[in-house]
A = this chain, B = another copy of it.
Amino acid sequence: MNDKANTASDIRMKGSGYYSLATTGAKIVIDSAMPLIRGALDRMDIRDDGSVFAMADMGCADGGTSIDMVGQALRYVREKAPSRPLTMTYTDLPRNDFSQVFHNVHGLTDLPGYAPDIDNLYVFASGTSFHQRIFPDNALNFGFSATASHYISERPGPITNHVHMVGAEGAELAAYTEQGRADWERILGCRAAELVPGGGLVLLNFCRDEKGRYLGGTEGVNMFHTFDRLWREMAEDGAITMAEYEATVFPQYYRDIDECSAPLTDPNCPVHKAGLRLDHIETKVIDCPYRLDYEQHGDAAKFARDYIPTLRSWSESVFFAGLSEDRPLEERAELIDHYFDSYGTFVRENPTGQGMDYVHTYMVMHKE
């Protein structure tokens, strides 16, 4: 385990030019996996036999935060196997902006697109969810995914006392635990079928670590508890109904380290039977870039102004979906504005300890 691997100066260095604070954290998460990725590629004993070497980034978004890592990994394979055609496939949901992925990778943006510089490389995209089969049997040499597999394929029920499973209890928590288990087994089962024998997989997932920490729930002010408290206050104030509060749940499950490992270590699990083996697992905490930035500039209003839009970008659809469709669209939009305004006020008035530290498992696997 390697807590707090990166410092503010790392962020500034790596983030300069290309990356905003909104993407710097996710990029550091990925870049800090580079030694593990190189190790996984070394272990694969890549022969220079002229066959296609296929790599994938699953749940890629615009491909920006992984672009340095992917370029490095492909060049590393190219060194080992000059004769092998390389394919790189970016996968995400159909609604993803794949045009932006191609622009980034082919060097048509400010990002360091690697495709023009690597010979005999072919880049593809897939709009198929990683909960399903993306590739044919035995067609993938090296798979990667970061900060994606916590999305479960469906909500198994309500969480009446909180907006996220990190605050759920009893039977409600158990339903999310089971959904998280079943989805993880299915995700890994799909990848096990897709990997060639000897192929490798590096997966970085939001998790609950050995100290019980998770995204935005490390030290200081807990992000998901704040999400929950402010939303519940809107219900208690009558701005939204209690039914709407209860209907609002993030479709996510943060697995702990045992849950992440189980399908790979239990000989009775279909994933293990399919030959997928765990080579390495560790957890890492990456500091929230907004908090680090605030600790430099000390301006609470600026902190709130910078931080809230990012929080909002990945969470507002969840709160929006919780609101009754009987409300006019405009009214729902106003309620969401009000909600994030209240989060902004809370950060402005209580800036210390706010933030969204990333807590991930870093897992390396191979197929026997």
Contact = CB atoms under 8 A, between A and B. Distances in A.
Contacts of A134: 122
A105 B127 CA distance: 10
B124 A126 contact: yes
A98 interface: yes
B99 A52 contact: no
Contacts of A33: none
A135 B123 contact: no
B122 A125 contact: no
Contacts of A103: 94-95, 127
A137 interface: yes
Contacts of A105: 127
Given A99-B98, A99-B99, A137-B85, A127 B125 contact: yes
B127 A122 contact: no
A96 interface: yes
Contact of A102 (B85, B94, B106): B94
Contact of A127 (B96, B102, B128, B133): B102
Given A94-B99, A95-B99, A99-B95, A122 B135 contact: yes
A120 interface: yes
B97 A99 contact: yes
A321 interface: no
Interface string A99-126: 1011101101000000000001011111
A97 B123 CA distance: 16
A126 B136 contact: no
Given A97-B99, A99-B99, A124 B52 contact: no
Contacts of A133: 122
A139 interface: yes
Contacts of A94: 99, 102-103, 106, 108
Q: How many copies does the complex hold?
A: 2
Interface of A: 52, 85, 87, 89, 94-99, 101-103, 105-106, 108, 120, 122-128, 133-137, 139
A125 B338 CA distance: 40
Given A89-B124, A98-B98, A99-B99, 18 more contacts: A85-B139, A94-B106, A94-B108, A95-B103, A98-B99, A98-B125, A98-B127, A101-B127, A102-B127, A103-B127, A105-B127, A106-B128, A122-B126, A122-B128, A122-B135, A123-B128, A124-B124, A125-B125
A47 to B, nearest CB: 16
B98 A122 contact: no
A153 to B, nearest CB: 15
A270 to B, nearest CB: 19
Nearest to A95: B99
Contacts of A120: 136
Contact of A106 (B97, B101, B127): B127
A136 B52 CA distance: 8
A89 B99 CA distance: 15
Contacts of A99: 94-99, 127
A99 B95 CA distance: 5
Nearest to A108: B94
A96 B103 CA distance: 10
Contacts of A87: 136
A200 to B, nearest CB: 20
A81 to B, nearest CB: 13
A136 B137 CA distance: 19
Contacts of A128: 106, 122-123
